Amino acid sequence: MESTKRRPPPLTHSRSIGTVVGRSGFGDGAVGGDAAEPVSPAGLLFRQRRFDCYIVAALGIGVPIDVDAVKSGLVSTLVRHPRFSSVLVAGDDSGEKLKWVRTKVVIDDHVVVPDLGADSSGEGIGGSASSADKVVEDYVSNLSAAPPMDASRPLWELHVLNLRTSEAAAVAVFRIHHSLGDGLSLISLLLACTRRTADPTSLPTLPQPRLPLPPPPRSNALLNAILFLWALIVLTWNTAADLFDLLASSAWLKDTPTPLKGGAGTELRRKRFVHRTLRLDDVKEIKDSMNCTINDVLVGVTSASISRYLNRRYGEADEGNDSKKELPANIRLRSAMLFNVRPQLGIQALAEMMDGKNCGVAWGNLLSYIILPFPVIMYNDPLDYVRAGKAIAERKKNSLQAILTYRCAHFCVRKFGIKPGVAMIRGLVSNTTLSYSNIVGPVDEVSFYGHPIVYIAPSVYGHPHALTLHYQSYINEMRVVLGVDESTIPDSHQLLADIVESVKLIKEALPKKL
């Protein structure tokens, strides 16, 4: 029954599509043009029955939502984007060649305002913010068990929940099919629909990464040549080792079974989405003290929290058995981490795209995978988790695995069809434990069509992982978002608490400033 519920809806042949308006769809990896564009290999992957993935992004809003104002704003921005005004259609009689074709968008078909049985104060559900939090959490989780979207319309929805919670006056939830684009491009696009609260005419400002300064050139030409050759050898070795690891993981190399590892059918089950806030200043303090990057810190924090969680789960006595187990040694626990093979999309360029300008922006799912291991061990010194995270991240930076994996997968799908590519990616995800990502958000408060945003909490479902972990920064906060299969992880809020506690312990272990 569950597999039928999650089956992608049948597509309509292009000759039976109704009114097609405006310019035809933009292709994955191209913008502009007057002809329908084929779906990219990654877009085809996310259309498969056992990999039918959706992105859900909850926006906490600081005031009650004016539904008419939001509809008007969507019509003038998001609806003008080619992906959000296109449908997937069969390009030939066999139904194998899918294309994006522009169609007429009826905004009322895409904005959902459910009756939650309560007014904006939450009185109808008991009058408490905690009750409202549970209602919103259940509603968003129910979206992961909802029937697939109607393929005769563009594959996106906005759910407006005018309910006051403990953190927001209302919540807006986007549900977007993953074939429309990768997570980075879609979050960037949503941000391009917002404006700075302090200056409603200005687009959001994203932090600019500070690249490390290159080492000063050495005067010894022979030494420079030796160092270059050594760096090339290390890069080649790491790339070859990573590609072998990826192929082995796709075929037979599995993670150790743990209380976090999902089983058969995980992708078909309802997911629960929960989130908490970390102080971004705490993460930056750890970063500066340890001379590393924010991502290094988050890898270390994730490793520490997973170790705490598993140590507790293994230490619990089995029902009917008073004996407790110790945390096993040498646990293999890895993330199949989505990696974007292009630079971050510019907010300005995306805003121009929605204005109908051909700004040359590459759109679509330009994705690859890297395997990111997380050590599971109870270190005596909490800083060892960050040191290990830094070493892991540095090792992955010295590898071309992501680029070569993308090129190889793209070639295989074009040459042999989508089925071998699906088998490889599904094997990789099924044999690892979790999905992991870290997304950079605006440094200033932004408003969604006049509604100030309190938090941004993205996640995804439809893939065979029982745990999906996202970090999303916004202003001076870092939002931790978990998507879990409750049959595997029944205590998702405890895992959130372990992440918060791990940051606290690592910060307290930092050397004291004189």
Tokens in use for 332?
């293999």
The Cα angle at residue 243 between residues 257 and 52, in degrees rounded to 5: 60
The values of phi and psi at residue 212, to 5°, are: -65, 145
Nearest Cα to 277, choosing from 505, 497, 486, 485? 497
The residue out of 152, 181, 196 marking a domain boundary is 196
Burial (Cβ within 10 Å: 0-12, 13-18, ≥19) of residue 70: buried
Distance, in Å, from the CA atom of 366 to the CA atom of 455, rounded to the nearest integer, reads: 26
Distance, in Å, from the CA atom of 20 to the CA atom of 107, rounded to the nearest integer, reads: 16
Residue 302, pLDDT above cutoff 90: yes
Region 228-250: mean pLDDT is: 89
pLDDT at 250: 86
**Statement to judge: residues 287 and 323 lie in one domain:** yes
pLDDT at 215: 63
Residue 62, number of CB atoms within 10 A of its CB:
17
The string of DSSP codes covering 490-509 is: S-HHHHHHHHHHHHHHHHHT
Collapse the DSSP code of 320 into the 3-class scheme (helix H, G, I; strand E, B; otherwise coil) and give the result: coil
Q: At which residue do the structure tokens 């070859």 appear?
A: 240
Band the pLDDT of 19: cuts 50, 70, 90: very low
- Compute the mean pLDDT over every residue in the chain, rounded to the nearest whole number: 82
Nearest Cα to 253, choosing from 432, 88, 46, 386? 432
pLDDT at 484: 96
Band the pLDDT of 423: cuts 50, 70, 90: confident
Distance, in Å, from the CA atom of 177 to the CA atom of 175, rounded to the nearest integer, reads: 7
Residue 106 lies in a domain: yes
pLDDT at 217: 63
Residue 253, number of CB atoms within 10 A of its CB:
18
Catalytically annotated residues = 178
Region 495-513: mean pLDDT is: 92
Region 54-77: mean pLDDT is: 94
343/437: higher pLDDT: 437
**Statement to judge: residues 412 and 326 lie in one domain:** yes
pLDDT at 402: 81
Residue 210 lies in a domain: no
Residue 189, pLDDT above cutoff 90: no
Mean pLDDT is lowest, of 383-392, 434-443, 483-492, for 434-443
Residue 497 lies in a domain: yes
Residue 352 lies in a domain: no
**Statement to judge: residues 8 and 84 lie in one domain:** yes
Residue 431, pLDDT above cutoff 60: yes
Region 363-376: mean pLDDT is: 80
Distance, in Å, from the CA atom of 193 to the CA atom of 204, rounded to the nearest integer, reads: 9
pLDDT at 288: 92
Distance, in Å, from the CA atom of 258 to the CA atom of 312, rounded to the nearest integer, reads: 12
The values of phi and psi at residue 176, to 5°, are: -130, 130
Band the pLDDT of 216: cuts 50, 70, 90: low
Beta bridge partners of 272: 484
**Statement to judge: residues 98 and 65 lie in one domain:** yes
Using alpha carbons only, how large is the chain's radius of gyration in Å? Answer: 23
Residue 57, pLDDT above cutoff 80: yes
Region 49-65: mean pLDDT is: 91
Nearest Cα to 431, choosing from 233, 263, 249? 249
Q: Cite the DSSP H helix spans in 252-279.
A: none
Mean pLDDT is lowest, of 363-377, 435-449, 490-504, for 363-377
Distance, in Å, from the CA atom of 328 to the CA atom of 323, rounded to the nearest integer, reads: 15
**Statement to judge: residues 74 and 110 lie in one domain:** yes
pLDDT at 210: 60
**Statement to judge: residues 166 and 263 lie in one domain:** no
Give the E-state strand segments of 299-441 in sequence order. Answer: 334-340, 367-373, 434-439
pLDDT at 317: 52
Strand order in 12-13's β-sheet? Answer: 12-13, 86-90, 98-102, 37-38
Residue 146, pLDDT above cutoff 80: yes
Tokens in use for 450?
């006049």
pLDDT at 83: 86
**Statement to judge: residues 164 and 50 lie in one domain:** yes
**Statement to judge: residues 141 and 252 lie in one domain:** no
Residue 337 lies in a domain: yes
Rounded (10°) angle between helices 383-397 and 294-315: 120
pLDDT at 54: 93
Residue 437, pLDDT above cutoff 70: yes
Beta bridge partners of 170: 61
Distance, in Å, from the CA atom of 298 to the CA atom of 437, rounded to the nearest integer, reads: 10
Number of domains, the chain: 2
Distance, in Å, from the CA atom of 425 to the CA atom of 463, rounded to the nearest integer, reads: 10
388/343: higher pLDDT: 388
Distance, in Å, from the CA atom of 26 to the CA atom of 3, rounded to the nearest integer, reads: 31
**Statement to judge: residues 93 and 235 lie in one domain:** no
Collapse the DSSP code of 374 into the 3-class scheme (helix H, G, I; strand E, B; otherwise coil) and give the result: coil
254-279 pLDDT, tens digit each: 999 999 999 888 988 999 999 999 99
Mean pLDDT is lowest, of 229-243, 272-286, 338-352, 451-465, for 338-352
Q: What is the CATH number of the domain that holds 93?
A: 3.30.559.10
Residue 10, pLDDT above cutoff 60: no
**Statement to judge: residues 137 and 233 lie in one domain:** no
Strand 86-90 and strand 12-13: pairing? parallel
Nearest Cα to 177, choosing from 88, 73, 274, 59? 88
Residue 87: CA count within 13 A, CB half-sphere: 24
Region 307-330: mean pLDDT is: 76
- Could you tell me what percent of the chain has a pLDDT over 70? 80
Residue 6, number of CB atoms within 10 A of its CB:
20
Collapse the DSSP code of 378 into the 3-class scheme (helix H, G, I; strand E, B; otherwise coil) and give the result: coil
**Statement to judge: residues 291 and 326 lie in one domain:** yes
97-136 pLDDT, tens digit each: 778 888 999 999 999 999 887 554 444 444 566 788 999 9
Region 375-398: mean pLDDT is: 93
Structure letter (DSSP) for residue 28? T
Region 323-340: mean pLDDT is: 81
Residue 249, pLDDT above cutoff 80: yes
Band the pLDDT of 32: cuts 50, 70, 90: very low
**Statement to judge: residues 231 and 191 lie in one domain:** no
Residue 205 lies in a domain: no
Region 220-228: mean pLDDT is: 81
Sign of the C-alpha dihedral computed for residues 472, 474, 478 and 481 taken in this order = negative
pLDDT at 17: 33
Mean pLDDT is lowest, of 97-111, 273-287, 332-346, 434-448, for 332-346
Residue 125 lies in a domain: yes
Region 395-419: mean pLDDT is: 79
* Domain carrying residue 179: 2-196
Nearest Cα to 463, choosing from 507, 438, 432, 506? 432
Mean pLDDT is lowest, of 214-223, 329-338, 406-415, for 214-223
pLDDT at 336: 84
Residue 332, pLDDT above cutoff 80: yes
Band the pLDDT of 365: cuts 50, 70, 90: low
Residue 319, pLDDT above cutoff 90: no
Is the separation of the CB atoms in 485 and 451 below 8 Å?
Answer: no
260/193: higher pLDDT: 260
Region 282-308: mean pLDDT is: 94
Q: What is this structure's pTM?
A: 0.85
Residue 393, pLDDT above cutoff 80: yes
Tokens in use for 136?
């919103």
Nearest Cα to 405, choosing from 436, 372, 367? 367
Residue 189 lies in a domain: yes
